[in-house]
Structure 1
């Protein structure tokens, strides 16, 4: 249903599953296993896998915390988008990478739920994409000391409101890892 009518393809967007981002994340191992399964299924279906990697003062480039977790392996021909803002589209070449591949629909997984995942989902919808969040393939750390709910509630709330996300000619939605079929998007 995307408003990008000349872009019939789907891509898997893997956001910020970096050592320093997910070190203390809720259900870290389970979420990474789900993302790994999604990457394998996307590759098998010839669906582009686009990797996003964040850097800032607390996550400097070319450091161990900045590196992707060792459980996930990007292939050399898979795009890697470097970003410095929450929204993966802001000040990056993500839009150009997706346009080149005629992608109008995104399947989104990664970290952190309450920051880069939410920002990128909203950025995608605002730019005309359909954006499906994989409900059990995103995570966040415990930020309760700053007034946030516990991570499980942050994740559940994001899944709740994204399930019904709509805009003219665009849709959000959620799906669990086991139910993702790249052929039906």
Structure 2
């Protein structure tokens, strides 16, 4: 069974510079969550709970998930206050109870919350699949968003782990599920 983790895809991410291929990322996340549900897997939405006054403050508009996302009542929501979705949350306990084959990771932001979540999933001995076209970031002062994403794919593909780390496209995962 698979679990897909969708990191911080909330209205607050619309603040600031544009996010790389955001509409494509949302489309891919919706396709993947449908695939995972169709194979009796679990969809886990990570919600960042920001500090008072920031764009992700609890119970503000920015705290809400993007309305374009296809969320279901039986999906799991895990709230976090740090970059890492595992720290001081129930995420690891939730994953352990599922008898997973792999954890699929998507979301925002490639170089912080997505990266931290991938590294913790690896450290917690999960097989991880990073969906190369289902995470996003803004341009950074020293590097454009596409380069940030390429760099992280390179880093993630060479991490030391007890299990596997795979970089795959949405299309590859959908094709494999169709077999």
TM over 0.5: yes
Aligned to 1:12: 4
Give distance in 2, aligned partners of 1:136 and 1:47: 20
Deviations 1:2-58 (A, max 9, x none): xxxxxxx32111111111124521111111111111111111111111110001122
**What TM-score comes out, normalization by structure 2 length?**
0.89
Give distance in 1, aligned partners of 2:87 and 2:13: 19
Correspondences of 1:103-182 after superposition (within 5 Å): 103=100, 105-144=102-141, 148-167=142-161, 169-181=162-174
| Cα RMSD, aligned residues only | 1.7
Pairing partner for 2:19 from 19, 25, 35: 25
Give distance in 2, aligned partners of 1:165 and 1:41: 27
Pairing partner for 2:31 from 30, 37, 49: 37
Matched, 1:81 2:78: yes
Give distance in 1, aligned partners of 2:163 and 2:12: 33
Unaligned stretches of 5+ residues in structure 1: 1-8
Give distance in 2, aligned partners of 1:120 and 1:109: 10
Give distance in 2, aligned partners of 1:34 and 1:22: 18
Q: How far 1:73 sits from its partner (Å)?
A: 2.9
Q: Is the 8 A contact 2:35 2:177 kept in 1?
A: no
Unaligned stretches of 5+ residues in structure 2: none
